[in-house]
């Protein structure tokens, strides 16, 4: 019985880590690399196509008032108090049409796409590290 408890804990933790999707972990790694004026991102999820819940990214907040970046899609339904926050989209159309879009992760022709607007990142004080500058336009 004494060996059963550590085994169950190990099994449960392994199962939970396998529940994460590659897309979740890629987006979480991107958010870990980004910062706003040297401070880590605090992300509010707003109807994302790929949720970060259950991923390794731990700086998710419950309301957009606590956040410094909104992540998701359908930004036209955001509360007015969050209208000025930078946005990272999971939808190509939202990325192209939203003025405050700093970047996006979306699928196109069966391939994942990662993009950043350099000008918007600079406007919001977001530093793109060397690893992500290749994806800036």
- For the stretch 40-68, pLDDT in tens is 899 999 999 989 988 888 889 999 899 99
DSSP 3-state assignment of 109? coil
pTM for this prediction: 0.81
**What average pLDDT is seen over the chain?**
85
Residue whose tokens read 């004494």 = 2
Residue 78 contacts by C-beta under 8 Å, 6 or more apart in sequence?
46, 64, 70
Question: So what's the pLDDT on residue 101?
Answer: 96
The answer to whether residue 26 is domain-embedded is yes
Instruction: Give the residue numbers spanning the domain of 49.
Output: 20-133
The answer to whether residue 1 is domain-embedded is no
Question: So what's the pLDDT on residue 12?
Answer: 37
The answer to whether residue 118 is domain-embedded is yes
The answer to whether residue 3 is domain-embedded is no
Task: Provide the domain count of the chain.
Answer: 1
Alpha-carbon gap, residue 132 to 30, rounded angstroms? 8
The answer to whether residue 7 is domain-embedded is no
Dmax of the chain from CA atoms?
60
């Amino acid at each position: 019985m004494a060996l059963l408890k550590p085994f169950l804990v190990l099994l449960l933790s392994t199962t939970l880590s396998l529940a994460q999707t590659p897309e979740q972990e890629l987006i979480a790694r991107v958010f870990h690399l980004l910062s706003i004026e040297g401070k880590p991102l605090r992300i509010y999820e707003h109807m994302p196509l790929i949720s970060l819940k259950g991923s390794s990214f731990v700086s998710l907040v419950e309301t957009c008032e606590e956040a410094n970046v909104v992540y998701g899609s359908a930004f036209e339904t955001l509360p007015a108090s969050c209208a000025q926050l930078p946005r990272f989209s999971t939808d190509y159309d939202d990325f192209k049409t939203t003025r405050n879009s700093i970047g996006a992760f979306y699928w196109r022709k069966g391939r994942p796409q990662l993009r950043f607007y350099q000008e918007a990142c600079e406007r919001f004080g977001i530093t793109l590290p060397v690893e992500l500058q290749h994806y800036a336009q």
